[in-house]
Structure formats: structure tokens, C-alpha cells
Amino acid sequence: MNEAIQFENKETTAVAADERPLVTPVAVKPFLVSKAEILFALLSYAAAYIYTKLVFNDIGRYDEIGGPIWRVLPILAFAVAAVIVLNRGKKITAESWFWLACLLAVTAAFMFRIYTVWNEAQLFFFVHGLIVWWVLSHSGKLLDGESGHFLPMDGINGFIVIPFYHYFLRVRTLAKGLQNAMKGSGKSKKQNAWWIVGALFLSLFLFVCAAKLLMRADSQFAEKFEHLLDWVRLDAEILIYLFLSLPVGAYIYGLIGGAARMENDLMLRQKSSLNRFLESIRRVPAGVWAVVILLFSVLYIAFFALQASYFLGGFNHTLPEGFIVSQYAREGFFELCRVMTLNFVLLWLVTRMSEADAAGHETSSKLLKVSCLLLLAESLLFAVIAASKILLYISNFGFTSKRIQSLWLVGVLAAACLAWGIHLMSGKKTMKLWMMLSAGTLCALAYLPV
């Protein structure tokens, strides 16, 4: 009887053990910080304060040339040093040095107020875009390993995902650094440290009281000491800058430190998800897209045929009846540029949503490629017509910054047509070269005398 009871107990225990859920412990990766991370986390407070002061004091003011230099230089030095030091040991591509050169060129133009083709606000905007792209490139956080067709997602990562995902990285870094500093000391030393901090604050309070009493006792001393206090006085404006610099600094360090720390596995998973999504939308037959593009092409051919004499005026320097040069140059210029942009959107949809090549569909695929090339050729013709309008304007009235900007825009769109056409015909990656060409010419124009 006892043996039966013991056997039953053993069986019940075994069943209970089998039914018990198995919990697999998840290894939590320890948060470790280096001395360089702690240093740059501290420096980011000063850099963010200087940046905030720059925005509120120098943007839009054209007084002295030395005004923004001492503010821009520390910010630039902090950013460049932080990116390079925090990414030590990583493979750095030649492309990242190109983006750094563009960043330095545009920043120098902004610092020394070289406002020829681009104005101050535009240069300020370019600096922000270039520093984000350089951080992504230098830290190896571009999804394709280089600039390419993941441009929109890379931009979202650089401006939103990475900095806000690591928004509290600076606080964690400094807290971990303080914890490491206190770890090796005994209990008595930790208590002594708090006593030292308290003694310093008490001494500071007594020092301020003594200074105020001496200033009341002697007016000459008060006058001289007042000038000294001007350097350390916290007025309302400084407090506002300090308050605003806190979220700015968190964003800056979140971008730089976060890009250096972000695991490559996260980027690979993101890239894999994007590729799966792009594959999942390949559901439209190539023949359907070919018909759609041919309809667009017929529309453009009809437009060219009806307006041939109007557009040829820009090439032979003859204006249509009732037009003046400025009216002819401006009318339709940006509309043509927008049509080219719409064509690029259409081509992206075609290349991403058309069904993958399969047996029996080679004819429709070839027809689709030919129709895409025809659409790119028409877009290139739009760019040439738009350029002829601006060149006619320049030949009559000379160069201005806005006319050069318009020529640059048309040139960038024309280069996009050529790059996409080469990609369709040869399969070579041309996106990175087009981006570098666009950015390089943008930086060069900053020093073009107008």
C-alpha cells in the first residue's frame, strides 16, 4: 500500500514537472561605456548650448564676420571628433570622407558668410542634412552599406529613428560613468564624497555672501567686481538657452552616440523587412505598366507637338508673340520640373510593383523597359527645355543666385534621368554617384561668385 502511494506521488510529481512551463533566461547585454563616450556626453552639453545661442543670436544677422565663427567652430569640432573617435575600429569607406569634405565646405561658407548662390538659411539647412548623412555613412548605418535606393529610409533613420531611439543615451552614459567611478571605492569613501560636495556648496554660499558684503562696503570694489560677475551671472536669457539646449543636446548625442552604438543586426533586420515588403508589392503585370507609361508618353508627345514653336524660342533666342523675357523664362519652368518629379515617382512604382520576370513574360518585360527609357528620354527633353528658358533669361540679364539655383536644379534632374537610364540598360548601381554629383556641385556653388 505504501509502495503504491509512493509510486503515485512520484508519477504526480513527474506530471507536474512536465506541465511546468520552461522559462529560457534571456541574456541581457550589459551596458558598458568608454571614457571617450563619457567625455563626449559631457561636451555635448556645451556644444548644445553654443548651438542654441547660435540659432537665437546669429541666424539672420549680418553684422560682424567673427560673430558665428567662435560658435560654429566648437560645434563642428565636437561633432567631427565625436563621430571619428566613437567609431574607431570600424571600417570607414571612401564615401564617408566625401560627405565629410562636403560638410566642411558648406560649414566654412556658413561660418564666413559666403552668401553668393545659397543664402544663410539654405546653407544652415545643408549643414544639418550633410552632418546627418555623414554620421550614417561614417558609422556604417546606411542600409545598403552605401548611399543608394534606400535613400528615404536612411533619411528617416538619420533624422528620426536613431536620435530619438537613443534620446536618453547621454543620461545613461553619464550615470554609468558615475557608477563606475564610485564602484571601486569603499563605503566610507562614498560617504566622504557626498560630504565633500556638501562642503563645496556651503563654501560657495559663504563666498557669495562675503563678496556681497564687501561690495556694500566699498563702491569701487563693487564696480570692479560687478564686471567680473557679468561673466558668470545667470540672467533669464542664459537660463532659457540652458533649458532649450537640453533636448537639443540629447538629440545631437542620440544621433552621434546612437549611430556608433546601434547594432548592425537591427539594421539587417530593418533591411530584410523592407526587402520583403518590396517583394510583396510586386503584383502588377509588366504589360499593364507598359500600357500606363505609353499613355503618359503619348500625352507628352502631343504636348511637344502642339508647343514646339513655343519651346524652340529658348533655343533660337526668339520670344513667342506677346511675351517678354522674364515672363517666358518663369512661365512653366517649375511646372516642367514637377512633371519630371512625377515621372520619377511613376518609374519608382513601375520598378517596384511590376511582377518579377518569369517564363513567357520576356516580351512584356522588354516592352516595359523600352517604355521606361522612352519616359526618361521625354523627361530629359523637359529638362533641356527648362534649361533653355533660364539660359535665355541669363543671356539677357546676367547671372543671379536664383537663376543659378534653377540651372542647378535642372542639371540635377537631367543627371537623374541619365543615371536611371544607365541603370535600366546595364543594371549598374548609379544612385550613389548621382547623389555625390548633386551634393558636390551644391557645395561648389557655395563659392561661386555671383
Helices then strands, counting H and E runs in the chain, come out as 19, 0
Cβ density class 147-160: b for 16+ within 10 Å, e for less: bebbbebbeebbbe
In angstroms, rounded to a whole number, what is the distance separating the alpha carbons of residues 173 and 37?
Answer: 7
Cβ contacts of 226-229, under 8 Å, gap ≥ 24: none
Please classify residue 178 by burial: count the beta carbons closer than 10 Å to its beta carbon, then call 0-12 exposed, 13-18 middle and 19+ buried. exposed
Q: How many CB atoms lie within 10 A of CB 176?
A: 17
- What integer pLDDT is reported at residue 305 of this predicted model? 83
Q: In a 3-state reduction of DSSP, which class is residue 87?
A: coil
Are residues 364 and 287 in contact, defined by beta-carbon separation less than 8 angstroms?
yes
**β-bridge partners, 354:** 284
Q: What is the DSSP string of 377-442?
A: HHHHHHHHHHHHHHHHHHHHH---HHHHHHHHHHHHHHHHHHHHHHHHHH----HHHHHHHHHHHH
Q: In a 3-state reduction of DSSP, which class is residue 354?
A: strand
- What integer pLDDT is reported at residue 358 of this predicted model? 46
Type of residue numbered 121: A
Are residues 367 and 290 in contact, defined by beta-carbon separation less than 8 angstroms?
yes
Report the length, in residues, of the chain. 450
What are the pLDDT tens digits along the chain (450 aa)? 444 444 445 444 444 444 454 445 545 678 888 999 999 999 999 999 999 988 887 665 545 555 667 788 899 999 999 999 999 988 889 999 999 999 999 999 998 888 899 998 999 999 999 999 999 999 999 999 999 989 999 999 999 999 999 999 999 999 888 888 777 555 555 556 667 777 887 887 888 788 778 877 877 777 777 766 665 566 677 788 889 999 999 999 999 999 999 888 888 898 999 999 988 988 888 889 999 999 999 999 998 887 766 666 555 556 555 555 566 566 778 888 999 999 999 999 998 898 865 444 555 678 889 999 999 999 999 999 888 888 887 877 888 899 899 999 999 999 999 999 999 999 899 999 999 999 999 999 999 987
- What integer pLDDT is reported at residue 28 of this predicted model? 63
Supply the DSSP symbol for 59: T
Torsions phi, psi of 284, nearest 5? -95, 125
**β-bridge partners, 284:** 354
Closest CA to 427 of 313, 335, 351, 323: 351
Name the grid cell of 247. Answer: 533636448
In angstroms, rounded to a whole number, what is the distance separating the alpha carbons of residues 48 and 258?
Answer: 16
Q: In a 3-state reduction of DSSP, which class is residue 284?
A: strand
Please classify residue 199 by burial: count the beta carbons closer than 10 Å to its beta carbon, then call 0-12 exposed, 13-18 middle and 19+ buried. exposed
